[in-house]
Amino acid sequence: MIGQTISHYRLLEKLGEGGMGVVYKAEDTKLKRTVALKFLPPELTRDKSAKTRFIHEAQAASALQHHNICTIHEIDETKDGRLFICMDCYDGETLKDKITKGPLPVKEAIDIALQVTEGLSEAHEAGIVHRDIKPGNILVTRKGVVKIVDFGLAKLAGMTKVTRTGTTVGTVAYMSPEQAGGGELDARSDIFSLGVVLYELLSGHLPFPGDHDAAVLYGIVHNEPEPLSKYRSDVPDRLLSVIGRALEKDPNRRYLSASDFKADLETIRGTLIGPDRLHAPGISDGKRPRFVNRRVLILAVLAVVVGSIGTFLFTRTKTPRTTGLDHALSVVDFTNLVDPDDPTISPGITGLVRVGLIESSPVRVISPEYLYDVRRRLFNTTRGPIEAGEALEIARKAGATMLLSGQIGTSGGEEYALWQLVDVGSGKSVASQRARGKNVMELADRIVSDALAVITNESGLAAEASPSVAVLATVSPEAYRYYVVGVLAREESKPVEAVRALEQAVQIDTTFALALVALSKALRDTGEVTSSRDYAEKAWRLRKHLGVKDRLTLEAWIQATVSEKYQEAFATYEEILTRWPDDREVLEHLVDGYLFFNRFPDVLAITKRGLALYPDDKLFALNYQY
């Protein structure tokens, strides 16, 4: 089939084959992107059950939108009746390939398992059990992002069985005891399978070996695994206990959810990484501790010394590079040549460009809040866009290696942008181009696409496939303008005006998830807690329209303010900071959360990190001194 064109996909090479499908790398000739196509084997096409199960795979997986789950684009059928699904094609390797090279370092194994638990949490919340978690179905991209693939054996909760009664579906060595016995499965079966995977990642051995399937199945049901300490001595005792709990024969004695599994892994990772990295230890009794507003107490006692503390910290603290990566990108405000009196044009186009680059760039995009704070300290300027003459010095101080800036104007009824990418070290222009578009979304897409090609070439890193910014924001320029007005009003501490503008945005486009998130936060500012929760939940139902960072931020916001799963919120906020460590709002949320629970060592750790980035921030300074 190599070289054939099916629908609008040209098959390039065969990637793999399994019991439920053959996978090919293909070119999407319409969208000019590389995808993977999975075909039902010809001999199974006549099997109605297999065909139905294959359709369920596509339906189940396409309903899941999460950065740790393989993205499914569509399901289609060839002229001769063969079904196939189109999914993202990732540059990386499976855990199966990784394991052949030997056991993994403890930290790496934990990080991989953590990402798998995140993807499983998303699936389980949607009522979907994977049923075939194994190293071959877990892929790690070149950027270290874990992707769970092949929901071919997934079963929607409550759905009529497609598999024939008395048969098992899944790879024998990674089956749970209840799966091995042909029983009913739920999320806990996936947890057992992940426990097997984690055991193998650390030891290089399966916990239930055997010379044939029957022996393996017997061991899963009746035998205890060899102690991990037999194979290596550097696995923490706490991690041994966690794996032991995941591998309990009785599902009721296992972790009840992937989120619980994740929480314990987070705690262990935190202790391995050290005190300067946040972790979210669990609350042992599961109860909500008594609230003591330490922040109010601190503000009252120490307000008189704020000025001197701020001055002292500014002079003694150097602004560090905020990432361990080799590259960071500073995107500064595009100069507004369209209508200098319209304050929404510059932040509007700049915001969309950031959304697109955060989603697709292999280079970390520095947060605008950090750039504005650096600008304030360098030039004593607190309002308005960053000027062209300030941009390079701000980028250097912020630790950027590349700087993207530009101008936006109109010509011939179309908007255009002149953008340039600068090497911050030398101060020399790397590239500059003109982009055009009928509206701000088209213009932003062109800027992102053209700039991304240069960024990937300069950094030597591969970019992720990115949808149009209209998918990550809105197709309506009018709705987007109201959104920008609302965001600016909230930044200026005008919550009522922010609510009014954001309500207009979501009335115009009811699927505008970014505006729903902003409206939820603005309503929270005004004290309308119930409405804030309602809009947060609406945004969550539309999370497929959010980029990965915005989706994580929304997840943490809901965990903290809607479901009150504070431990999970802390872990999600921590994950955001590992990828975008200079996000001021996330740092502040963590400070407030830890204060709420009287977790003063964590308050100290997070305020220390906050002060390294924002050295005269009053909130961080007061809590650090306390």
Active site residues: 132
φ, ψ (nearest 5 deg) of residue 584: -65, -45
Q: In b/e form, how buried is each residue of 257-278, taking b as 16+ CB within 10 angstroms? A: bbbbbbbbbbbbbbeeeeeeeb
H or E segment at 406?
Answer: strand 402-411
Tokens (6 digits) for 325: 């990566």
Residue 14 near residue 23, CB atoms below 8 Å: yes
Strand 328-331, strand 155-156: pairing: unpaired
Helix, strand, coil proportions of the chain in percent (round to 5)? Answer: 50, 15, 35
CB neighbourhood size of 239 (10 A): 23
Of the candidates 361, 545, 314, the residue with the CA atom closest to the CA atom of residue 462: 361
- Please name which of 95, 104, 91 lies closest in space to residue 141, comparing C-alpha atoms: 91
Structure tokens at 368: 């605008």
* Phi, psi angles (nearest 5°) of residue 337: -105, 0
SS3 450: helix
Beta bridge partners of 21: 18
Q: Of 459, 329, 345, which Cα lies nearest the Cα of 394?
A: 329
Nearest to 261 by CA among 118, 127, 363: 118
Residues 455 and 362 sit within 8 Å (Cβ to Cβ): yes
**Beta strand 335-336 with 402-411: parallel, antiparallel or unpaired?**
parallel
Instruction: Calculate the dihedral angle through the C-alpha atoms of 95, 98, 104, 107, rounding to the nearest 10 degrees.
Output: -50
Read off the amino acid at residue 592: D
List, in order, residues 6 or more apart from 295 with CB less than 8 Å away: 592, 595, 619, 623
Q: What is the 3-state secondary structure (H, E, C) of 92-110?
A: EEEHHHHHCCCCCCHHHHH
How many residues are there in the chain? 626
- What DSSP assignment string belongs to 283-297? -TT-SPPPP--HHHH
Amino acid at 392: L
Give dist(CA 247, CA 225) in Å, integer: 9
CB atoms within 10 A of CB 226: 15
CB atoms within 10 A of CB 612: 18
